[in-house]
């Protein structure tokens, strides 16, 4: 009940970001006493919200704390589907793990799982994903698209575009996407994406998409062996980034792309993806579980599969690999 009032209170402010709302009006809209309103405002302050209170004008939320719990994500969120339900944990093993459980239990499409810290964050092939407290965005999205399981890798590319667009909008940085699941800035990894399925042979039940973003780490905070290969948005811009705002923009961009994708297919997403891609047209080594393939990346197919031409002219279709770019 308390959290429902809190949610509605923040919603009121999200519709009038700079405006003041009178205590009387809030109490009417929320159906509680003015003393109760005051108490809720005090609770927000205790959590780090800066709230202006001016006689005759009322209350205004001036700034939010640098947290990404449900409240901060909700305030100002403009999506319809993504984030319609937010599952927040201060610390968890892996948001993927939790999202798998929730998806299995049947939560709605668009549910997101967010945490401030992962103790067992993971990448592909069970590699470790370093996810320290209060510095990044560690989240998993649950989608239930009506597409065949073989098309699911397209969603990794779609999410990469959405995250790249949001980063560009919030920070001004123009990131690069490296097929299939990395976003790089100046050649260093800032974002990793992990797409996993709950599916039957011919249909998807849920797609769980994990997104890990280094936002406010300093270079010294990256441990060996990634301190030479990883960077954060704050290192690049020299500024602290508002993680809740970035997260909201990510959800908004992904949602727009997702709705376009469901309506019109992968073609538009592919074009957008190509505008950010760094591997295309380059010499590279694709390290696959069947072995290494060295060659020239020609592009991606309409299904999001990478096409490489090896030196003897043979064309290879790569569904999953680690890519190493060969400098020109
Ligand atoms: C990925 O795997 O890049 C996917 C990472 C997905 C992480 C998110 S966080 C929310 C959700 N919950 C999870 O448990 N996971 C998802 P891959 O391409 O396999 O890259 C993994 C490799 O990236 C590691 O072996 C390290 O070399 C490197 N790495 C680990 N942590 C990193 C970090 N914070 N920043 C940059 N590189 C990192």
Give the residue extent of every domain in the chain: 2-63, 70-276, 283-325
Both tokens assigned to 112: 């997101």
**Counting atoms of ligand 1 from 1, which one is nearest the CA of 118?**
14
Alpha carbon of 231 to ligand 1 centroid (Å) = 12
140 lines ligand 1 (CB under 6 A): yes
| DSSP line for 2-14 | HHHHHHHHHHHHH
pLDDT (tens, 9 = 90+) of the chain, 328 residues, equals 567 888 888 888 876 667 899 999 999 999 999 999 999 999 988 887 889 999 989 999 888 778 898 888 998 899 999 999 999 999 999 999 999 999 999 999 999 999 999 999 999 999 999 999 999 999 999 999 999 999 999 999 999 999 999 999 999 999 999 999 999 999 999 999 999 999 998 999 999 999 999 999 999 999 999 999 999 999 999 999 999 999 999 999 999 999 999 999 999 999 999 999 998 888 999 999 999 999 999 999 988 899 999 989 999 999 999 999 887 7
Ligand 1, atom 27, lies closest to the CA of: 226
Ligand 1, atom 9, lies closest to the CA of: 212
For domain 283-325, is the CATH number 2.30.30.100? Answer: yes
Both tokens assigned to 121: 């964050």
| DSSP line for 180-233 | TTEEEETTEEEEEEEEEEEEETTEEEEEEEEEEEE-S--GGGSPTTTTTTB--H
**Counting atoms of ligand 1 from 1, which one is nearest the CA of 217?**
34
- ω into residue 225 within 30 of 0, thus cis? yes
123 lines ligand 1 (CB under 6 A): yes
118 lines ligand 1 (CB under 6 A): yes
Model pTM?
0.87
Q: Which residues are annotated as a binding site?
A: 118, 122-124, 189
How many contiguous H segments (helices) and E segments (strands) does the chain have?
9, 14
Question: Is 70-276's fold the same as 283-325's?
Answer: no
> CATH assignment of 2-63?
1.10.10.10
- Among the listed residues 133, 107, 140, the one whose alpha carbon sits nearest the alpha carbon of residue 251: 140
Fold of domain 70-276: BirA Bifunctional Protein; domain 2 (3.30.930)
**Counting atoms of ligand 1 from 1, which one is nearest the CA of 322?**
18
183 lines ligand 1 (CB under 6 A): no
CA atoms within 13 A on the CB side of 64: 21
């Amino acid at each position: 009940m308390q959290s429902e009032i809190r949610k509605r209170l923040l919603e009121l402010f999200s519709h009038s970001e700079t405006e003041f709302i009178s205590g009387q009006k809030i109490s009417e809209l929320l159906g509680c006493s003015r003393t109760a309103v005051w108490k809720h405002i005090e609770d927000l302050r205790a959590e780090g919200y800066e709230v202006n209170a001016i006689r005759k004008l009322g209350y205004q939320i001036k700034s939010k704390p640098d947290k990404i719990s449900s409240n901060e994500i909700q305030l100002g969120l403009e999506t319809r589907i993504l984030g319609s339900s937010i599952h927040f944990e201060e610390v968890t093993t892996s948001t993927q793990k939790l999202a798998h459980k929730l998806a299995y239990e049947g939560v709605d499409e668009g549910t997101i799982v967010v945490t401030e810290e992962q103790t067992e964050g993971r990448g592909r092939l069970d590699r470790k994903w370093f996810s320290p407290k209060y510095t990044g965005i560690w989240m998993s999205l649950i989608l239930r698209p009506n597409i065949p399981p073989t098309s699911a890798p397209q969603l990794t590319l779609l999410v990469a575009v959405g995250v790249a667009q949001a980063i560009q909008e919030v920070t001004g940085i123009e990131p690069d996407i490296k097929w299939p699941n990395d976003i790089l800035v100046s050649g260093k990894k800032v974002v990793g994406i992990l797409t996993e399925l709950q599916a039957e042979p011919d249909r998807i039940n849920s797609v769980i998409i994990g997104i890990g973003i280094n936002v406010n780490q300093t270079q010294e905070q990256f441990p060996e062996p990634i301190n030479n290969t990883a960077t954060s948005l704050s290192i690049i811009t020299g500024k602290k980034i508002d993680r809740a705002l970035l997260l909201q923009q990510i959800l908004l961009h992904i949602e727009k792309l997702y709705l376009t994708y469901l309506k019109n297919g992968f073609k538009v997403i592919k074009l957008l993806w190509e505008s950010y891609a760094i591997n295309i047209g380059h010499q590279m080594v694709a390290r696959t579980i069947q072995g290494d393939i060295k060659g020239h990346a020609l592009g991606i197919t309409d299904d999001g599969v990478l096409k490489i031409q090896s030196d003897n002219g043979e064309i290879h279709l790569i569904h999953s690999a680690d890519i190493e770019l060969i400098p020109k």
